[in-house]
Structure 1
Amino acid sequence: MLSNVGNSRKNNDNNLIIKPYELKKKMDDGDDFMILDVRTKQEHDMWSISYDKYRDSMLIPIDTLMSMESLKKLPKDKEIITYCAHGQRSSFAAMALSSMGYKVRTVEGGISEWSNIYDVTELEIEKTIPLRIWQIRRISKGCMSYVIASTEEKNAVVLDPTCSIDSVIDDLITNHQLKILNIIDTHMHADHLSGATKIALKYKAQLNISSVEKYVLEDLPAENHLVINRLNEGDKIRIGNGFYLEAIHSPGHTEGSMSFTLDLYNTTEGDNHKLDTTNNFRNHSLLIFTGDTIFVNGVGRPDLHNKAQEFTSNLYQTYSNKLFSLPDDTIVLPSHYSETFEHDKPIFNTLRSIKLKLGNITQSENSFSKYVLANIPLQPMNYDKIVKINKNLISCENVLFRDLEAGPNSCGIRT
């Protein structure tokens, strides 16, 4: 147990605290420091801070932190950043280590607050195309949202927003003079609270949801003036300048999942477009935003609505008959990722590459079902409560969700 903290509690001020966004900046700048998790091994294995080159953190549970063996693992020549679930244990750890001469700070609010930190990158499309697309990554939850905007009309669409994303959207609106006209949820989310209702109300935008998902609309407060558009296969959502997102019903992860295609060359011409695989989309005319149906390194899980066998079959049919029928050079932009990523580097892949990765399990429905059903991960904590909230289109700002979303991304099955 901790001992010899002495009077260090007096020093528990801002000198021992680092805010989550400050920690992200240190990571983005490539600073040399140690991240120390003082939770239990079980907590660490389930969910930890992992971002860019900082793939994992040192684990020393707080009960053993003051042992000689543990202290030998800690450097005195560089900063140590401690964290826990909400900041209490890591604050005690920081005070104790500070009193012993270590340069140390603790993450304010712990991994719970870190889970509301985002990384934003722009997808670099051909400059002659009057569109801009930003990929917004919620680092610790593996969620990805998108803002797609017309550079001439300044209209924008937000796809799959999470609850605390509005500060990021505010910055984009201010910096690029955008007007948010449409919000899209690709499906009824089960691992995190949707921000769609909150964002639609805040920006007085139309909320677009799948007509196939079993949303409950009868109890929505009339005074909210929420404008809802229920989408069917083939429906189009206008972005501007002749560009549209077109809905494709993509069942499997959920019954009513929708994917959305965007033809970048719908109103522009040109043959001299080449792909720079780092972050440019040249010579790739078609983008598809797939929600949680398919990922760059995995497939959507089919079990979160308690119909795993049926939904696995649906997912295979979606791949075989719809997604895999698109051109091989289609760029796939999912709404989740399952491992750490690099700052400012977009997450995407071509449909051709994904089909090659999935080749061994998509040869037949039988092989696909066997693999998927045998590799379903643990269900997200509180997913039944989250589904109920999202099903009723409750604005997430009215929900006390400090620990409701705790845990990593678990919407996909790695391949």
Structure 2
Amino acid sequence: MAVKELRAQELHDRINAGHSVFILDVRNPDDYNDWKIEGGKLQSVNIPYFDFLDDNEDLYQNLPKDTEIVVICAKGGSALMVGELLDERGFDVSYLVEGMLEWSQFYHPVTIAEETDMKLVQFNRLAKGCLSYMVISQGEALIVDPGRHVSEYLEYAKSENVTIKHILDSHLHADHISGGPELAAKTNATYYISSGEMQDSGMPFEPLERHEHIQFGTVDVKVMPISTPGHTPGSTSFLINERFLLSGDTIFVGGLGRPDLGGKAREWAQSLYDTVFSTLAGLGDDVLVLPTHFADIQEINANGYVGAQLGDIRRNNEIMRTTDREQFTEQVAGGVGATPPNYTDIVEINRGTLQVDLEKATELEIGPNRCAIKHS
């Protein structure tokens, strides 16, 4: 026997197919409790790597002999060492080759809608809870909130034989590095973001506020920017064909975007109130809301994507029914948690005022997103 290598794609495929998966995570407990692999019929236990160095045979007593154990650590090295110890004792073992580092960079595309003249795809970066979108029509594509791993979108566009023409960021992201500028440079597409997000930036962009509609293809696939401040002052949502609301970090399946990252929680919460009860009030309950983040793996629906009808979100989230402005403000401004790690640096990178190398970019992004306030 030998310790088998496992890649993120294969691990995801097993989980997504509903197979039973047993994970032994050997990172320290704080890291495990903050951020771990979840989903499906997955069973996960945490025994720190250092505990295995003590030759304590009791550690192995409760590990299953009749199923494969997938060992996971931060970057793969410790998982392999623990895997070899398990292998010596007759366990069936594999390990995630690059650990949570690889898992954090894994994207899973899911088709939300496919019609004669339009296709809408959600890219789920599962480990980060980050979502991005590609809208395809008549050989052209529009991308919303792309992550920094631009090859994901380039390869998908190539597989669909389409040209990327428009790239939109709904706001200045604080928890992950945008791939928008790099993707625009590689494709000669137009990069759009609200100018309210880009103060002191020398980065080329097209201000979203100049456009009520962005049309592409030969059919009426409309992308209408809707100013939806609250998460950030320049937050913008996009209504596609009056049916799909790409809501950025304004409205989530399970809550609202946090308004505190600019140090003006109450002021931005007031803006969020106006967004919810004025700007978006006229949208029908049947509009499908597709956010840029999710806070819980349970938000992935039976169709495999994160999204819900606006009516269901209104009914299921108390904060969406809290019409008293002061009460809403207190709940939203007082409901924020820990700030995204490294968010100041990430914001500067996304604004173009700070440049980092690939290794530093990867380091800055490690960990879950913390952009949503969950209001059940």
Q: TM-score, normalised by structure 1?
A: 0.83
Letter in 2 for 1:238: Q
Measured after TM superposition, the shift of residue 215 of structure 1 is: 4.0
Question: What secondary structure sits across from 1:372 in the alignment?
Answer: helix
1:239-274 C-alpha deviation (Å, 9 max, x unpaired): 3222220111111000100001112xxxxxxxxxxx
What are the within-5 Å matches in structure 2 for residues 245-324 of structure 1? Answer: 245-263=223-241, 285-324=242-281
Please give the secondary structure, in 2, of the residue aligned with 1:256: coil
For structure 2, the residue ranges without an aligned partner over 5 or more in a row are: none
1:275 is aligned to none
Q: For 1:321-400, what aligned pairs fall within 5 Å after superposition?
A: 321-340=278-297, 341=300, 345-359=304-318, 362-392=322-352, 400=360
The answer (yes or no) to whether the contact 1:233–1:247 under 8 Å persists in 2 is no
The alpha-carbon deviation at position 412 of structure 1 amounts to 0.2
Match among 146, 151, 170 for residue 133 of structure 2: 146
The SS at the match of 2:360 is coil
- CA drift of 1:349 comes to 1.1
Conserved 8 A contact 1:119-1:136: yes
CA shift in 2, pair 1:185/1:295, >3 Å? same
Computing the radius of gyration from Cα coordinates, the structure with the larger value is: 1
Q: Which residue of 2 aligns with 1:157?
A: 142
- State the 1:381 CA deviation: 0.9
More helix by share: 2
Where does residue 119 of structure 2 map in the other structure? 132
Counterpart residue identity of residue 209, structure 2: N
Shift of 1:393: 7.0
Note the alpha carbon deviations across 1:346-396, whole angstroms, 9 max, x for none.
221111111122345622111112222232111111111101111117688
Structure 1: 5+ residue stretches without partners: 1-7, 221-225, 264-284
Equivalent position to 1:238, from 193, 215, 223 = 215
Of stretches 17-26 and 396-405 in structure 1, the one that deviates more from structure 2 is: 396-405
Between 254-263 and 62-71, report the one with greater CA deviation. 62-71
User: 2:201 maps to which residue?
Assistant: 217
The DSSP-based 3-state class of the residue aligned with 1:290 is: strand
CA shift for structure 1 position 154: 0.7
Partners of 1:64 and 1:349 lie apart in 2 by: 43
Identity %: 32
| Selected match of 1:83 from 33, 55, 72 | 72
Q: Partner of 1:35: helix, strand, or coil? A: strand
1:60 aligns with 2:47: yes
Structure possessing the higher relative contact order (Cα contacts under 8 Å, 6 or more residues apart): 1
Summarize the Cα distance change of 1:118–1:315 in structure 2 as closer, same or farther, 3 Å threshold: same
Question: How much is the aligned-residue C-alpha RMSD, in angstroms?
Answer: 2.2
CA distance in 2, matches of 1:145, 1:403: 21
CA change 1:154–1:344 in 2 (3 A) is: same
In structure 2, C-alpha distance between the alignment counterparts of 1:172 and 1:70, rounded to whole Å? 44
